[in-house]
Structure 1
């Protein structure tokens, strides 16, 4: 390992040693630009040189993500002008040249209050910033997301889609790794259904990483979504309080408080509320051999009372050392009253019987997380740092369900069942990261991570015999899942003013053990994999940039993919896991261009992915009962094109949009059946934000997802529209928001399975959600819309 890393670094230095340096007669100008009020760096500000005599421009550059800039000139008679929208322009004409260098040091820009008033609408619009190996979607005050959860926010991010079930996909592919502040989190765990506890106002930005560097965990064949939460930097007391109500029931209160001093930053967020989340479902199972048909339709509810609190502190030991301690606790009480109507028809399309299946489910879900983080910055360079972190998280579910079948017509279908679930998940993550900018051009990164996932799911089904309830051994199971992943990485980067390159390697060892205790069936996997990454970028001009990237990724089967438990909510449509499932591996290639045309900015990408051991959900049918199980089936090769852009023709109007198209080629065989086929899918999103008089903003966002073919059928397309209206009051300290998601109730999930002996059809819909929110900011805080809300 050490020898490989040394050779990699040596090769990197060797490959760039012939690059020419600046000419001796050039003057190198450098500095750091920060905001006067907060001391935060200002990225992408314009630094320009002008001739003193003619006022004509000589050359210029922009600041990087850390507010730094460096460029050169052969001229000597010039002055420097620094500008950025919303800040007062600064002119520097008094400077000294030493050793052909002009070091401007730290430059502070003050806010231009008049300019800020003029651009208040565009300043609130979410925008995307491009970095060497990721895109950063900075979250604006998107009105339609008022009172919404992180899942709704993700649905507004270019390249990302969230379906009705809450499954997140990136460029049409599932297998997305979701992080919170760069780390795994109980708030982002799919099995805990917890992304809903993060609300739109809590999010600073979302990093979309389609080709992650070796620094990131290799999980997620589609890529990584890193949710960055806000942390108040203003000194003194800051806070806000919000109230939300809505239809269906959506009532909550949230409080955010922050106290910052020279040494400490104390922060807390508290939320409580109640929500009802209905969903309409329909399914049709057709037996093509007997021509029998089973219809089922009904409405599922998940009524939730929830409480959560976050506490944390940053302790600045000195200018170079910071300790962070934080914790989060959430508690949910679920009530799931659901009702499904079943109808059974024979081969002559005659109704044989119909019955009603009632479900009463109650559950409590405690979850908590705690984190320790230490960061040391070295005196020679603020980017030279060492970071240590330890994270613990827990999620539990104690659930009981009662199912009652009541005959309506025909043959007797009366029956009763009970289920009980005791689920516990504990995860621990330990990380060390070291970054060293050896010079202004060379940077190395290295580190390690150890992740432990320990999960148990005790699931019991009981049938009523007429006298008492008896355990159904065929459906009862106790599944244990234990996974340990150790990863180490190294990256080296070389960056010039216009060109940069970054290469790395990550090595991960996976040790997985599963056990089905009632049958003593076990599965053990231990494997080591190598994950190389490569990124490069070239700045053609001030308005055109190019990026290219490659990464190798892995998707490890999760608990619900491996656990062979049966879900008996609908006895005719069952999902179960596969303990023998193997991980997917994906090689991903991407070429991106970023360009500006007048008041419009665009980016376009060509990408190619090749995945082996593809995990697909395969359906089979026996006695009109359809069972769906994940299986490893062959390979998938896809090539796609994506473009997104933003256009602001006036100060009061901003238009945004994105479009993604990909063509895929599936090759595979399962149980002597060929699954070779080709298909395509595309999606688009269009949004507009309009600033009206009297501090009123209106926002419209429309999205369309095309239909696409699956290995056994297809999934229908759908489109939907979100609407938001905002009114500022009390000089902007308070905000009233109205949000309507799925205005025309057109967001559906519809799928078909076509097989020689059976066909299935399924449909689900959430419907329209209306929210009304009032938020007020006090101290130095701003109005926000924290609701502690759950996902839709």
Structure 2
């Protein structure tokens, strides 16, 4: 604007360094300053023009936040100035230029140019400006796609969502399936490095949207997503509790406005019927979300067991089918209240209710060279499971930096179970084994989590994080077994008790990170104190543990170029025994193969190291990693004790485990209609320790492989087939057999993409069979389990701005 200003900036330094030279040029300097004042005065005579208005989306009649508003010079077509709209869609600009037009743009909406407007007293009020959807432009963007890219950031890999995804309206689940190291099968199950049990975060924190209840992630569309962060070796900021990894979905600030939603209906064989409804309403201040789900399904499980007594030369065989049939109802309600642009308050709740039936029938045969006895055991079990969750969350963003924020959340969860079972043994041949038993379970569990996080970037390179978390877990399990003696049911004192479990974990952490253009380093330390108490009321048995631990973490990365990056990481993790690892009660469905917990179980600790390479070669993405894990107090989950043909197995802490492995995964889009995705993971491990005075030292290895191909067929049909292989693996007492199976799915979009038809088959060849052997000097055990083939057909429909749930056949998880 000030055309004379550059002449001052370009003055030779000698004017200031040499006073004699300055005096000599005094007249010239005074003339230049006088000319500058005249120029400024001339410009100040031009009138300032203020332009205001409000951008509204025509279809929903809702304001458009973060739309781009530009003033463009009529003659040169160059941008004069610009801004983005506020949350309420309003904007304000000022200019001294007289000849310009106004251009308004927003992704997915038609660009609008305004040439005719009236000025009144130095103000141009455009009022409400309506923008329409641009479906043709969206289709064009898909053809001229911008490939999404992966980049390294210290302790994470970041997948920035490109136009090829953000413009198609795909669901978050479909987006995740394009992220290296992450896979989503046709049912919507998410895995990281081939392992499920991934923790999903939204904007860096747990969310009801990312919970296992229902298909909430299907309601997040790609154009709401900014990036996906993959964390395979979490830093000290995250819980020290061991998981297979963390996926953090970061949403854009511009959320969809208006009423959005989707509905889905599914049928399956074996019986798997469900209906789901999702609604979302976004206004200037509130984001209201809700979900409703109902369903009924049957889960058969075919089992076979062989118990062989090598001392007495007897064999007990059992074979039968178990069912888990359940009706379920689920509702989610919540709201985000945007107090202002920096403060958001979220309140959400979830209630679910399940009604279970578990009929089973098992046939037993006893041999000692010839068949000596044969009998049948039947079960009728009924249970009700109420569960609910509620969360209050407050987030504060600061103006000085987009990552400067404070977050506080309070989460409460409850799960209950009232269950009764009737068992009957009926003799078919041999000695009389007729018997009737009953069991009763009254289970209650409450969890409370309070969390505080603070992130402070001091500049674009240096950031610190600090926070704390307090977790309270309280459980009571009243369990009773009764035997029919004569005409009365008598309680069995050896299998009846009240188990109380209380665990409190307090964690405090701090991290510091320095990240330059090419390389970075991040160090952190987490301190956790665990206070655990278990108590068997009837027998007055206690197991109290209180321990504090340090969990350091270190990450560093170096970016050689846009195609190749390298990352190293270290973290110390802990696996605290879960409730069902500690719960001593017996499952007597098959009373010759009994599973129980171990209340004296100790936590296991792991030091984890990894070195990871990532390559981006054209459209292909390749990852290669080497990792090492050292675990103490290793928990072996199925250690068998054999007596009188009865196999009782439970978890024990046995020695240490050294494991070193390599991982390779890659995605390659051969064409727009054909994409391959492969994962291979191999590790060799060494076990050392002893059990009951016997050494269990041995070396072994295992590997898994998966290949997924996605094929785009004519008529807008997507086809997917996945093959899985798991090698056999040696255990402390025996081995687990290899496993190979395949899944397939078909997907067809209809009604201009608003509707989706789904067809999926899990375990096409019914080959997903789990076999295990326990081989000891005194006994031999064989276990076989098969769930069989599952076929599901579904239809989903999205309305408003919502997209159909393309993974409507997702397995409901606990």
**Is the shorter-chain TM-score for this pair beyond 0.5, marking a shared fold?**
yes
CA contact (8 A) 2:498 2:537 kept: yes
Q: Structure 1 residues 649, 113: closer, same or farther in 2, change over 3 A?
A: farther
Give the match for residue 766 of structure 2.
Answer: 745
Shift of 1:117: 3.2
Distance in 2 (alpha carbons) for counterparts of 1:388 and 1:688: 42
Match of 1:157 in 2: 191
1:551 has 2:571 as partner: yes
Q: Against the structure 1 CA distance between its residues 743 and 196, is the aligned structure 2 distance closer, same or farther, given a 3 Å change threshold?
A: farther
Matches within 5 A, 1:88-487: 116-117=138-139, 131-135=153-157, 139-140=173-174, 157-161=191-195, 168=197, 195=212, 197-198=214-215, 201=218, 209-220=231-242, 222-226=243-247, 233-346=255-368, 348=369, 350-487=370-507
Shift of 1:587: 0.3
Confirm or deny: 8 A CA contact 1:464 1:470 kept in the other structure.
yes
Q: Are the aligned partners of 2:173 and 2:188 in contact in 1 as well (CA < 8 Å)?
A: no
The separation in 2 between residues aligned to 1:111 and 1:636, in whole angstroms, is 58
2:731 is aligned, of 691, 695, 710, to: 710
User: Which whole-Å deviations, capped at 9, do the CAs of 1:368-393 have from their partners, x for residues lacking one?
Assistant: 00000000011111211011100000
1:254–1:787 Cα contact (<8 Å) kept: no
Deviations 1:576-623 (A, max 9, x none): 111111110100000000102232111111000000010113111000
* Aligned-partner Cα distance in 2 for 1:419–1:187: 37
Deviation at 1:770, TM superposition (A): 0.7
TM-score (norm 1): 0.79
Shift in Å, 1:161: 3.4
Deviations 1:137-158 (A, max 9, x none): 8631799xxxxx9998685524
Give the C-alpha shift of residue 196 in structure 1: 6.1
Query: Does the 8 A contact of 1:150 with 1:199 survive in 2?
Result: no
Displacement of 1:555 in angstroms is: 0.7
Query: In structure 2, what is the equivalent of residue 103 of structure 1?
Result: none
Q: What whole-Å deviation, never above 9, does each CA across 1:295-347 have from its counterpart, x for those lacking one?
A: 1111111111000000010000001000000000100000111111111111x
User: Which residue of the partner structure matches residue 616 of structure 2?
Assistant: 596
TM superposition shift of 1:466: 2.6
Corresponding position: 1:607 with 2:627: yes
Structure 2 residue 511 is matched with structure 1 residue 488 = no
Choose from 545, 553, 558 the match for 1:525: 545
Corresponding residue for residue 82 of structure 2: none
> Compared with structure 1, are the counterparts of its residues 229 and 244 closer, same or farther at alpha carbon in structure 2 (3 Å cutoff)?
farther
| Aligned residues of 2:187 and 2:811 also touching (Cα < 8 A) | no
Q: Deviations over 1:202-230 (max 9, x none)?
A: 5789865331111101011x543457699
CA distance in 1, matches of 2:741, 2:149: 22
- Cα distance between partner residues in 1 of 2:64 and 2:711: 29
Per-residue deviation, 1:691: 1.0
Structure 1 residues 227 and 433, CA gap change in structure 2 (3 angstroms): closer
SS at 2:802 equivalent: coil
The answer to which of 591-600 and 226-235 deviates more is: 226-235
Map Cα deviations across residues 693-721 of structure 1 (whole Å, 9 max, x no partner): 21111111111111110011000111111
- C-alpha deviations, 1:218-275, integer Å up to 9, x for none? 011x543457699992100101111111111111111010000111100001010111
Deviation string 1:375-430 (CA, Å, 9 cap, x unpaired) is 00111112110111000000001111001111111111111110011111000000
- Cα offsets for 1:173-193 (capped at 9, x unmatched): xxx8787876678999xxxxx
Give the structure with higher Rg (CA): 2
3-state SS of 1:360 partner: strand
Distance 1:719 1:40 in 2: 50
String of CA shifts for 1:466-502, please: whole Å, max 9, x gaps.
3111101111121000010111000001111111111
Question: Structure 2: how far apart are the matches of 1:136 and 1:745?
Answer: 37
- Unpaired runs of at least 5, structure 1: 1-35, 42-84, 90-109, 144-148, 163-167, 169-175, 189-193
C-alpha distance in 2, partners of 1:121/1:454? 55
SS of 1:383 mapped into structure 2: coil
CA change 1:187–1:242 in 2 (3 A) is closer
Secondary structure at the aligned position of 1:571 is classed as coil
Does structure 1 retain, via aligned residues, the 8 Å contact 2:186–2:744? no
Q: What is the SS of the residue equivalent to 1:567?
A: coil
Q: Say which SS state the counterpart of residue 581 (structure 2) adopts.
A: helix
**Could you report, residue by residue, the CA deviation over 1:42-96 in whole angstroms, capped at 9, with x for unpaired residues?**
xxxxxxxxxxxxxxxxxxxxxxxxxxxxxxxxxxxxxxxxxxx99999xxxxxxx
Q: Does 1:567 align with 2:587?
A: yes
Tell me the alpha carbon deviations over residues 535-593 of structure 1, each in whole angstroms, 9 at most, x when there is no partner: 11111111111111000001111111112111111111111111111110100000000
Matched residues in 1 for 2:540 and 2:284: separation? 58
Residue 703 (structure 2) aligns with:
682
Deviations for 1:617-671, whole angstroms, at most 9, x for unmatched residues? Answer: 3111000101112111111000000011110121111111110000001110121
Q: Which residue of 1 aligns with 2:20?
A: none
Q: Relative CO higher for 1 or 2, CA cutoff 8 Å, sep ≥ 6?
A: 1
* Matched position secondary structure for 1:379: coil
Residue of 745, 748, 752 corresponding to 1:727: 748
Is 1:671 aligned to residue 692 of structure 2? yes
SS in 1 for 2:771: strand
Partner Cα separation in structure 2 for residue 295 and residue 486 of structure 1:
48
Q: Structure 2 length normalisation: TM-score?
A: 0.77
**What is the total number of aligned residue pairs between the two structures?**
670
- In structure 2, relative to structure 1, the CA distance for the partners of 1:568 and 1:386 (3 Å cut) is same
Contact preservation (8 Å) 2:394, 2:407: yes
Contact 2:747 2:759 in 1 (8 A): yes
- Aligned-partner Cα distance in 2 for 1:469–1:717: 45
Corresponding residue number in structure 1 for 2:664:
643
1:201 alignment partner, SS class: helix
Give, in angstroms, the shift of residue 749 of structure 1.
1.1
1:621 aligns with 2:661: no
**Cα 1:270/1:725, change in 2 over 3 Å:** same
Q: State how far apart, in whole Å, the 1-side matches of 2:146 and 2:327 are.
A: 32
Q: 2:798 aligns with which of 767, 777, 788?
A: 777
Instruction: Tell me which residue corresponds to 2:39.
Output: none
Structure 2: runs of 5 or more not aligned: 1-56, 58-62, 68-106, 112-131, 160-171, 178-182, 222-226
Hey, what's the Cα distance between the residues in 2 that align with 1:295 and 1:130?
Answer: 54
Q: Distance in 2 between matches of 1:766 and 1:565?
A: 25
- Residue 695 of structure 1 corresponds to 716
Partners of 2:517 and 2:156 in 1: CA distance:
19
Evaluate the alpha carbon distance shift between residue 596 and residue 181 of structure 1 in structure 2; reply closer, same or farther with a 3 A threshold. closer
Distance change >3 Å, CA 177–CA 271, structure 1 → 2: closer
Q: Secondary structure at the match of 2:218?
A: helix
Counterpart CA distance in 1 for 2:800 and 2:199 is 37
1:534 maps to: 554
